[in-house]
Structure 1
Amino acid sequence: MATQYEISGTTAKGITRSVERGVSEGMLAPGAALPPVRRLAEELGVSPGTVATAYKELRRRGIVVTLGRGGTVVAEAPSVASRRPPKVPEGLRDLAGGHPDPALLPALAPPSRLSPGVRPHRSAPRLPRLEDAVRDWMGADGVPVEHVTFAHGTLDFVARVLSAELRPGDAVAMEDPGYHHLLDLVAALGLRAVPVAVDDKGMRPEELRSALRAGVRAVVLSPRAQNPYGGALSAARRDALAEALREAPEVLVLENDHASDVSDAPLRSLSGAGVARWAHVRTVSKFLGTDLRWAAAACDPVTLARHDGRLLLTSGWVSHLLQETVHGLLTDSGTSALVARARVQYALRRTALAEALAGHGVPAHGASGMNLWVPVRDESAVVNGLRSRGWWVAAGARFRLASEPGVRISTAALQPAEAPRLASDFAAVLGESEATYGG
């Protein structure tokens, strides 16, 4: 056993709880090996079947994985210990968080015209005027808007839909590298992530076809501002992906347009490209405020019914106070002007760093959005090297399934004047660590 943590328990549930506690408290780290079934059974004085049942439950819940002859190990992203970024050390310039620039967000003020009282939330969960605003918002980008619904953020929507559509053990095609919270969510639901490589134009069609042949039941992707790689679907790429998906009409496509209004790339959505099962979901946290835990989704009618059925049985509805706040901001001309300014600024900041890095011979990916993905040979060496120079960037490990190493630099708050110094420091760190590309 590769750790000093001692697993305890005399029942399958007790053993499961013990392993879960060790993982959640950090005493069983990702990749840590669990004892073989028979050895742990002897140590605990229980039958091998009891340990095998515990390990099966841990696998189902995404806490451990079995590697054949490699035995059973703690998952790289166990569902009880999400791949949360480390705390930013004091005094460093934070370029790891991926948050919008507070200076480019509107002031939030809750609506005053709604008073406490009983309203028919379950029978009328969505404010009609916000539904109309959402239809105008998404419809302007070519998304079919006959069926729309709301959720408590994108992750909330995706979790509810996947749990209604799939069963533990089912496979989901995921972008690689991809958004770490979505990767963790899939594991937490007991689903199996199948990596699909991305490039500057989004998911690669040939990789998606391979995933479809492998039997995935859902596909999760971003049409633009892909996090962390920055890809944006071209019209040709969208059509190629749609062609592959039309051959698998039972597969559900979840499209996460998380940056929407502050992405400088046009939307090329799969929702209107003849895909049978689909949902296009948008949040407003990147351009209206991170505390606005609200998302809107347009879906095919089956997906909408399954989502709303689960919503009715759980939280029931999204706060009408929150809906009023979002509606006020979405329809405010001053806020629209600020969002337009933010879109321009984020593109300038991202481009400034990409060009500065290129000037030092350092290639980076970031066709849209608020991040750059920089391939490196040794993530830890680069992160620590930049830390010594006052920069804090994100190691790529928590974004990756099978893709090559890299680091993510969030450029949302990086002023163009800062880009030359960061690029110079980055090139110096690469030289010091000998993490040159291909060498």
Structure 2
Amino acid sequence: MAAQYGISGTTAKALSASIERAVTDGTLAPGAALPPVRRLAEDLGISPGTVATAYKELRRRGIVLTRGRGGTVVAPAPAVATRRPPRVPEGLRDLAGGHPDPAFLPDLLPPAPLTPGAGSHRAAPRLPLLEEEVRAWLGQEGVPAEHVTFAHGALDLIGRLLSVELRPGDAVAMEDPGYHHLLDLVTALGLRTVAVEVDGEGMRPESLRAALRAGVRAVVCSPRAQNPYGGCLSAARRDALVGVLGEAPDVLVIENDHAGAIAAAPLHTLTAGGALTRWAHVATVTKYLGTDLRWAAAACDPATLARHDGRLLLTSGWVSHLLQRTVLALMTDDVTRALVGRARQAYAERRRALTAELGRHGIPAHGASGMNVWVPVRDESAVVNGLRTYGWWVAAGTRFRIHSAPGVRITAAALPPADAARLARDFASVLGETQATYGG
């Protein structure tokens, strides 16, 4: 086994580096089983303790995980690999990427005049005018906005919060199905994922309660435009979840409102009313102002904000003031605001059209808000490959799932209603073909 995968080394450091190289170059694929500790020790002529130490380090760094009697395997998204989505085959209509329609994105123009920075902005990392705009923006949505901070996008912000609050091996409650980059991030930080079931109203309270009882230290959830399922919190569901979270006041709750202005659903934030002790509400603009605007804002409780900003101070120090000025100019521009309003309306129409057309063929689909539609299927590969023959490219659900049932994600943002009927017909044909092939 060691020779087969090119695993070598006589020290724990060398052994872990060897396994890491095998994962990086694809020799050891995600899910591949590593040799049992004693067998690998015998093959390499080293002590079992050396192998166990190497495996422990790889687990800590999110490269492998242990499945009890199932042994040690390469993580589904190992932290050393760049798991990019598959390249869209030439000639196919791309409905897999989760991207906004470029027709509804404003032109990104740098602020004028461009002047060289005079020095460090560590003492004043946030532009006061943008900070004021963010407070007003979040405050209108019902989020307590006394303490706000900025970061280089939602993943940057969430990753920093988790890294300062938790330690490798701690557990995080995550939506299932959920945003694959967040699932990968948790693994890369050496944290354990505990799945929480979702439906059209977001996290299910009973499933969240089970995760809290399992000892999670943090919860990451979406209040609307949940990716990929499309759920959005109702007022009643919000209240139910807050009641459950009240049973574990020390747990950090991170609310990721990644598509707020185009979600076409009201924000029922968990942070309203002051019931949570440790919390952060994260808001971004990349889905409607520009995917290259790597900027996010967050409102937090005072302790969470201090810990985040303390770590930011030691790394990048601040978010580029040129970027902040660009965001501020777009957020306060009437033409851009009108464009965002048209995007919100168009995405809602496209999402509703697709779910309605699928429904006409007896195909259930979920997408109460946001840009995506989730369609449960029995065989993801058969559906993805079947739709490919009709000229469509959709995302297999496996990278979004922990334990939930199979499905495919369709990004409806760039699918005009006139095309939804044809996609639904082709989807129904694919399901008929797979049923004829594999049985009912």
TM-score range, shorter chain: over 0.9
1:261 to 1:2, Cα distance in 2 relative to 1, 3 A = farther
Give the structure 2 partner of residue 208 of structure 1.
Answer: 208
Q: Distance in 2 between matches of 1:84 and 1:219?
A: 25
TM-superposition CA deviations, 1:121-162 (whole Å, max 9, x none): 000000000001101111111110000000000000001110
Give the structure 2 partner of residue 149 of structure 1.
Answer: 149
> Does residue 106 in structure 1 map to residue 106 in structure 2?
yes
TM-superposition CA deviations, 1:287-320 (whole Å, max 9, x none): 0000000000000000000000000000000000
What SS does the corresponding residue of 1:357 show, helix, strand or coil? helix
- The amino acid that maps onto 1:268 is H
Give the structure 2 partner of residue 168 of structure 1.
Answer: 168
CA contact (8 A) 2:186 2:193 kept: yes
- The amino acid that maps onto 2:279 is W
1:211-360 pair list within 5 angstroms: 211-273=211-273, 274-360=275-361
Q: Distance in 1 between matches of 2:271 and 2:2?
A: 47
What SS does the corresponding residue of 1:372 show, helix, strand or coil? strand
Give the structure 2 partner of residue 18 of structure 1.
Answer: 18
CA contact (8 A) 1:96 1:408 kept: yes
TM-superposition CA deviations, 1:249-297 (whole Å, max 9, x none): 1000000000010110000000114111110011110000000000000
Once the two structures are TM-superposed, the CA of residue 25 in structure 1 deviates from its matched residue by: 1.4
TM-score between the two structures when normalised by the length of structure 1 = 0.98
Give the structure 1 partner of residue 393 of structure 2.
Answer: 392
Give unpaired runs (5+ residues) of structure 1: none
Once the two structures are TM-superposed, the CA of residue 120 in structure 1 deviates from its matched residue by: 4.6
Give the structure 2 partner of residue 185 of structure 1.
Answer: 185
Q: Distance in 2 between matches of 1:161 and 1:68?
A: 29
Give the structure 2 partner of residue 70 of structure 1.
Answer: 70
Q: Distance in 2 between matches of 1:117 and 1:97?
A: 36
Give the structure 1 partner of residue 81 of structure 2.
Answer: 81
Q: Distance in 1 between matches of 2:153 and 2:19?
A: 31
Q: Distance in 2 between matches of 1:319 and 1:68?
A: 45
Q: Distance in 1 between matches of 2:375 and 2:316?
A: 40
What SS does the corresponding residue of 2:5 show, helix, strand or coil? coil
> Does residue 6 in structure 1 map to residue 11 in structure 2?
no
TM-superposition CA deviations, 1:160-184 (whole Å, max 9, x none): 1100000000000000000000000
1:252 to 1:123, Cα distance in 2 relative to 1, 3 A = same
What SS does the corresponding residue of 1:328 show, helix, strand or coil? helix
Q: Distance in 2 between matches of 1:2 and 1:352?
A: 54
> Does residue 36 in structure 1 map to residue 36 in structure 2?
yes
CA contact (8 A) 1:83 1:181 kept: no
Identify which range, 274-283 or 219-228, moves more after superposition.
Answer: 274-283
What SS does the corresponding residue of 1:227 show, helix, strand or coil? coil
Once the two structures are TM-superposed, the CA of residue 80 in structure 1 deviates from its matched residue by: 1.6
- The amino acid that maps onto 2:418 is A
Once the two structures are TM-superposed, the CA of residue 5 in structure 1 deviates from its matched residue by: 1.9
> Does residue 117 in structure 1 map to residue 110 in structure 2?
no
Q: Distance in 1 between matches of 2:140 and 2:396?
A: 37
CA contact (8 A) 1:371 1:412 kept: yes
1:350 to 1:4, Cα distance in 2 relative to 1, 3 A = farther
Q: Distance in 2 between matches of 1:144 and 1:119?
A: 33
- The amino acid that maps onto 2:340 is V
What SS does the corresponding residue of 1:27 show, helix, strand or coil? coil
CA contact (8 A) 1:61 1:190 kept: yes
Once the two structures are TM-superposed, the CA of residue 6 in structure 1 deviates from its matched residue by: 2.1
Once the two structures are TM-superposed, the CA of residue 81 in structure 1 deviates from its matched residue by: 2.2
What SS does the corresponding residue of 1:270 show, helix, strand or coil? coil
Q: Distance in 1 between matches of 2:373 and 2:202?
A: 14
CA contact (8 A) 1:2 1:32 kept: no
CA contact (8 A) 1:82 1:184 kept: no
Once the two structures are TM-superposed, the CA of residue 60 in structure 1 deviates from its matched residue by: 1.2
> Does residue 381 in structure 1 map to residue 367 in structure 2?
no
What SS does the corresponding residue of 1:434 show, helix, strand or coil? helix
Identify which range, 83-92 or 215-224, moves more after superposition.
Answer: 83-92
- The amino acid that maps onto 2:329 is G
TM-superposition CA deviations, 1:403-426 (whole Å, max 9, x none): 000000001111111101100010
Q: Distance in 2 between matches of 1:241 and 1:262?
A: 24
TM-score between the two structures when normalised by the length of structure 2 = 0.97
Once the two structures are TM-superposed, the CA of residue 117 in structure 1 deviates from its matched residue by: 3.2
Q: Distance in 2 between matches of 1:85 and 1:372?
A: 18
TM-superposition CA deviations, 1:10-60 (whole Å, max 9, x none): 211111111111112111111111111111112212111111110111111
What SS does the corresponding residue of 1:182 show, helix, strand or coil? helix
Give the structure 1 partner of residue 92 of structure 2.
Answer: 92
Q: Distance in 2 between matches of 1:31 and 1:249?
A: 36
Q: Distance in 1 between matches of 2:434 and 2:215?
A: 41
CA contact (8 A) 1:376 1:435 kept: no
Q: Distance in 1 between matches of 2:83 and 2:250?
A: 31
CA contact (8 A) 1:228 1:399 kept: yes
Q: Distance in 2 between matches of 1:59 and 1:139?
A: 41
- The amino acid that maps onto 1:415 is P
What SS does the corresponding residue of 1:367 show, helix, strand or coil? coil
Give unpaired runs (5+ residues) of structure 2: none
What SS does the corresponding residue of 2:77 show, helix, strand or coil? coil
- The amino acid that maps onto 2:98 is G
Once the two structures are TM-superposed, the CA of residue 195 in structure 1 deviates from its matched residue by: 0.1
Aligned residues: 439
Q: Distance in 1 between matches of 2:318 and 2:327?
A: 15
